[in-house]
């Protein structure tokens, strides 16, 4: 009688495990828990909300149009890339739009985004972006990621400690301890997220399922990972909006705004390209394409993104939406890190986020800005802090002192010079200089070795 192979039990029980999965997980091919995906969906809102709110108040950005188009972007990228690919505002264009006097108009913001998109579309379609991605040294990319992550973390601490004037882009008075946007609220949210998400390592649905099936996962760990902590914190912040200002109820007007083409002049193209696109293009190449592709390979080794596809994606999104007044957007490494940090492991996370944005844009329209204006900034700071730390931790794989040296110099210049492009150039020059120095040292040692061998040969030939 044939004996059953010890490995046969795993093959026979696999269909049973799949059969007992929830119907929604089998139907949508979601390997992670639904609560984790929903929690991860709000992981990048710490950067999204402040920028969108500022541009709506300062440059009269159409919030309803932006929410609808970014919702469609979220849904499309989630289904195409199969990872929690974020859709975030182009930060350099947003900063210029607010800081310039007079402020950039909606048409000028749109031309800045369209110009940046055209460059990225060209780089992606011709394959130049893929070539650049292969040639760039990893320590330089890690330096850009480290600087971006620390920049997010520094901004998050300011959000938590101080009241913010987003229109003037500065911190004002120290935040009070008590109140509906006080330090106690922010620190409580921070403590809640630390308790329920830890360092972020355990928040993986696949690992949880494997451990549960083998009986090695503790009950406490399963409870922790099943609670959508970030989503709870965000929804709590939305509830506080109405408590802080009850007049919001009377100011809400249902229905989206009318979507139409912008009126764009040649002067808008000139101002948008020179003031908005020129500083944004290097940042988009480094952070929206190169850094996000590297990070996708770190977080999802079997699903590393193609630099060409990501570059084309940024180009297509903005060449579609900017003409209607939607905010120029990109794929940010910080957003991917934030969504991963709070549990997102698939594209369905951003699909759920897109559905939420679409509902809000269609139901509340531009009146949703009244709600966002009362959102506790301390809670946004807490969400942004976790996203920044997760992005910065991607640089922990620098093993040699030389790699760490290049990475830290690149990060330091990027932070102090307020320019990722400047840090990138310094990092590349330093990397090449160290390589040249190593080649010269190797050549000198080879010459000495060859000279020594020649002398030995001459000595041995003397009778």
Distance CA 417, CA 438 (A): 29
Distance CA 261, CA 62 (A): 12
Identify whether the C-beta of residue 318 lies closer than 8 Å to the C-beta of residue 89: no
Residue with more model confidence, 197 or 419: 197
pLDDT of residue 149: 92
pLDDT digit string, tens, across residues 121-175: 999 999 999 999 999 999 999 999 999 999 999 999 999 999 998 877 788 999 9
pLDDT digit string, tens, across residues 45-75: 998 999 999 999 888 899 999 999 999 999 9
What are the φ and ψ backbone dihedral angles of 88, each rounded to 5 degrees? -125, 155
Mean pLDDT computed over 310-337: 95
Mean pLDDT (the chain, rounded): 86
pLDDT of residue 27: 47
Q: For 171-185, 280-294, 429-443, 445-459, which range has the lowest pLDDT when averaged over its residues? A: 445-459
pLDDT of residue 100: 81
- The pair of structure tokens assigned to 317 is 């999104």
Q: Is the pLDDT of residue 346 over 60?
A: yes
pLDDT of residue 204: 45
Mean pLDDT computed over 320-334: 94
CA 93-293-423 angle, 5° bins? 55
Q: Is the pLDDT of residue 114 over 90?
A: yes
Q: Is the pLDDT of residue 422 over 60?
A: yes
Mean pLDDT computed over 431-456: 72
Rg (CA), the chain: 25
Q: Is the pLDDT of residue 197 over 50?
A: yes
Q: Is the pLDDT of residue 98 over 90?
A: no
Closest CA to 81 of 334, 338, 347, 341: 347
Mean pLDDT computed over 392-397: 89
Percentage, residues of the chain above pLDDT 70 = 83
Residue with more model confidence, 276 or 447: 276
Residue with more model confidence, 385 or 31: 385
| Contacts of residue 257, Cβ cutoff 8 Å, sequence gap at least 6 | 62, 64, 65, 365, 366
Identify whether the C-beta of residue 191 lies closer than 8 Å to the C-beta of residue 386: no
pLDDT of residue 178: 94
Q: Is the pLDDT of residue 78 over 90?
A: yes
C-alpha dihedral sign at 257, 92, 428, 415:
negative
pLDDT of residue 168: 78
């Amino acid at each position: 009688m044939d004996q059953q192979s010890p490995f046969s039990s795993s093959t026979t029980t696999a269909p049973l495990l799949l059969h007992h999965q929830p119907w929604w997980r089998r139907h949508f091919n979601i390997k992670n828990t639904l609560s984790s995906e929903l929690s991860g969906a709000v992981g990048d809102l710490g950067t999204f909300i402040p920028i969108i709110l500022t541009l709506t108040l300062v440059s009269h950005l159409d919030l309803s149009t932006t929410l609808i188009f970014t919702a469609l972007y979220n849904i499309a990228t989630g289904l195409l890339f199969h990872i929690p690919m974020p859709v975030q505002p182009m930060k350099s264009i947003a900063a210029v739009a607010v800081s310039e006097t007079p402020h950039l108009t909606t048409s000028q913001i749109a031309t800045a985004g369209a110009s940046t998109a055209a460059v990225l579309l060209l780089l992606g379609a011709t394959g130049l972006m893929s070539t650049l991605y292969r040639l760039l040294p990893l320590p330089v990319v890690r330096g850009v990621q480290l600087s971006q992550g620390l920049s997010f973390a520094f901004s998050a601490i300011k959000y938590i400690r101080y009241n913010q004037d987003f229109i003037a882009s500065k911190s004002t008075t120290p935040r009070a301890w008590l109140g509906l946007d006080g330090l106690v609220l922010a620190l409580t949210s921070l403590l809640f997220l630390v308790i329920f998400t830890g360092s972020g390592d355990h928040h993986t649905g696949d690992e949880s399922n494997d451990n549960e099936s083998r009986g090695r996962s503790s009950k406490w760990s399963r409870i922790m990972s099943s609670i959508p902590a970030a989503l709870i914190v965000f929804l709590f912040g939305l509830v506080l909006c109405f408590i802080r200002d009850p007049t919001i109820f009377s100011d809400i007007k249902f229905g989206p705004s009318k979507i139409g083409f912008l009126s764009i002049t040649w002067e808008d193209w000139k101002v948008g390209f020179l003031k908005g696109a020129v500083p944004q293009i290097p940042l988009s190449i480094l952070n929206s394409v190169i850094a996000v592709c590297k990070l996708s390979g770190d977080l999802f080794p079997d699903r590393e993104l193609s630099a060409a596809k990501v570059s084309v994606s940024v180009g297509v999104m903005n060449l579609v939406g900017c003409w209607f007044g939607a905010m120029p957007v990109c794929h940010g490494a910080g957003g991917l890190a934030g969504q991963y940090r709070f549990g997102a492991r698939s594209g369905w996370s951003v699909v759920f986020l897109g559905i939420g944005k679409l509902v809000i844009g269609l139901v509340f329209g531009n009146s949703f800005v009244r709600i966002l204006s009362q959102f506790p900034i301390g809670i946004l700071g807490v969400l942004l802090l976790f996203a920044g730390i997760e992005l910065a931790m991607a640089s922990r794989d620098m093993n040699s002192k030389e790699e760490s040296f290049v990475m830290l110099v690149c990060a330091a210049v990027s932070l102090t010079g307020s320019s990722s492009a400047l840090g990138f150039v310094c990092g590349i020059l330093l990397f090449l200089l160290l390589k040249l120095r190593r080649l010269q040292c190797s050549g000198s040692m080879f010459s000495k070795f060859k000279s020594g061998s020649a002398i030995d040969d001459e000595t041995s030939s003397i009778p």
